[in-house]
Structure 1
Amino acid sequence: MDFRQLTYFVTLAETRNFTRAAERLHIAQPALSIAIKKLEHQLDLELVHRNERKVALTHEGEVLLEHAKLILQQVNDANIAMAELKGLEKGEVRLGLPSMLGSYYFPEILMGFKSRYPNLKLTIVEAGTQSIRRMLISGELDLGIIQNADVPDSLETEHLLRSQMVAVVSPEHPFARHKSIAFDAFFQQELVMFKAGYFHREFIDEVCHQYQLSPNIAFETNLLPMILKIVRNDFAITALLEMVTQHEPGLVPIPFAEPVFLDISIAWRKNGYLSVADRAFMEFVKQHGH
């Protein structure tokens, strides 16, 4: 078994099709078929079920896939580490950001970092905290901004900030003059919410579960500008980080009667390799926070 065989196998598992896998690998399809058969022969195991339309992994193939991804990621980490010993940098930070923090907390940080390190590339992926966790574990991201709750054991975290989650209504809404709002009153209103997987929605689901409440969700979207417009036009209310209301006019923030604070952290793979660029970004973020 060699790294090339594992690369072929992982690509086939991802595409579930010999033709598409061969195209992605830039090799002939017969060569891919021969390589997979050779791998099966070496292991004395059947790894894939073959038919004309789709390739499905056997149980043995699923087990190998999990290990193969980790091995290839470690090889990639090793190549980066060796390159940096020769004075080279990876030159890229792949960062996962939730929508609210990406819009209101990080723009100045990202521009400041790019100004200080003009030769480094920033690749920003906007996603929910659950997706960011998965992409960190799989090696698709180097760093991610997540809620510091129920963090998988395979991730390391460092606290970044603490922010209050508040109810948000239009100035015309009856709640606009309230100094605080109870959870049961909030969830009786028509709500506009992020879809499942975002820390904003995790907060909502957790409160509903804890207090046995049912949210009245009228709109569901991952588009923050749409959420803001719906609230401004008094079609629904929502809950957002307080920092959003500090930058957006036409919104009234109302603390919950039982205040809610979210701890936000920067996360990375516990056994992953952080490049010079990744470490420089983490230090820059910490300095900005202070």
Structure 2
Amino acid sequence: MDIRHLKYFLEVVRWRSFTRAADALHITQPTISKMVKSIEDELGVVLLDRKGKQVEPTDAGLAIVQQAQLIVNSFEHLSSDLADIVQLKKGTIRIGLPPMAGSRFFPKVIGEFRQAYPLIKLELIEDGAKTIERSVGSGGLDIGVVVMPTDMQAYDSFVFVRESLNLLVHPGHRLAGRDSVPLGELREERFIFFREDFALHDRIPEACIEAGFRPNVVFESSQWDFISEMVAADLGIAMLPETICRNLDFRKIAVVPLERPGIPWHLAMIWRKDGYKSYALREWIRFARERLALTP
């Protein structure tokens, strides 16, 4: 027995006639008779009382009518929901965004996507890039923004930002006003870092060690604006991406490019190579790749 059998049975009950039901379904009368008989044989009961041309449901038939209608309605609703998903009318996407990337690059993209696909729900989870990468890998997130490099064997990705970190110092600092600063010249400085679940928590010390010293970390925070305010209060130095530096108050903070070596800040969206990609997620990837490519 399948959904088609139930639909045929309900049509016979509705029309009280095999012939009229067959006409309504655009099939032959023997076909619909055979379908109903197969249901009766499978259930072991008589569902229809055949009185010549008039057909009436038996008590068992009336019981089947109620359940069959619920099943057919549920199936039709399911088909409608699946059609909506396939046509990108519905769905949920869980997106991980680091604070710096989320505030700078995504409000406009998210707004345009919601306007294009109003019934697709975007669940935004703000966290550090390292935590986001782990969550994408475990399936807790469908997609997320991380600082490159990442595990290219585990994830597909596209890079949408290629910048470097700049040095932030108090305007009265000895390095303020310089055209650039070699990383090795910062060995005696007090550093203000992002906390450990942020990618820069590891990237900056790695670069410093390559330059011949281990940084002296005096404060850690998860908020770039709080970090910049601590620099403005002359509590230490910090490093932030070029994009963020453009929004700082240059009366309170001096921004100096780093050199020999510089520290890259490359952002990418990643998703699991072996993970299921819903219709909505595939469209988000296409949409975000297209829109973010236009980001100045």
TM-score tier by shorter-chain length is 0.5 to 0.7
Shift of 1:122: 1.6
Q: Distance in 2 between matches of 1:93 and 1:143?
A: 8
Other structure's SS at 1:188 match: coil
List aligned pairs for 1:152-231, cutoff 5 A: 153-231=153-231
Determine which structure has the larger strand proportion and give its number: 2
User: 1:263–1:224: structure 2 CA closer, same or farther, 3 Å change rule?
Assistant: closer
Contact 1:166 1:240 in 2 (8 A): yes
Q: Distance in 2 between matches of 1:146 and 1:124?
A: 14
Counting matched residue pairs gives 209
Partner of 1:271: 274
Q: Distance in 2 between matches of 1:273 and 1:234?
A: 49
Shift of 1:221: 1.4
Partner of 1:87: 84
Contact 1:200 1:240 in 2 (8 A): no
> Deviation digits for residues 124-145 of structure 1, max 9, x if unmatched?
1122222111101111101111
Q: Distance in 2 between matches of 1:99 and 1:187?
A: 28
Q: TM-score, normalised to structure 1's length?
A: 0.66
Shift of 1:170: 3.0
Specify the structure having the higher radius of gyration (Cα): 2
Other structure's SS at 1:111 match: helix
Partner of 1:286: 289
Contact 1:245 1:252 in 2 (8 A): no
Contact 1:135 1:141 in 2 (8 A): yes
User: 1:125–1:171: structure 2 CA closer, same or farther, 3 Å change rule?
Assistant: same
Q: Distance in 1 between matches of 2:197 and 2:128?
A: 5
> Deviation digits for residues 209-240 of structure 1, max 9, x if unmatched?
32341111111111223212111222211001
List aligned pairs for 1:132-147, cutoff 5 A: 132-147=132-147
Shift of 1:83: 9.1
Q: Distance in 2 between matches of 1:256 and 1:149?
A: 20
% same residue: 27
> Deviation digits for residues 99-150 of structure 1, max 9, x if unmatched?
2111222222222322332222221112222211110111110111112214
Gap regions ≥5 residues in structure 1: 1-81
Q: Distance in 1 between matches of 2:175 and 2:189?
A: 10
Contact 1:95 1:125 in 2 (8 A): yes
User: 1:115–1:247: structure 2 CA closer, same or farther, 3 Å change rule?
Assistant: farther
Contact 2:204 2:263 in 1 (8 A): no
Partner of 2:7: none
Q: TM-score, normalised to structure 2's length?
A: 0.65
Contact 2:184 2:208 in 1 (8 A): no
Q: Distance in 2 between matches of 1:149 and 1:195?
A: 19
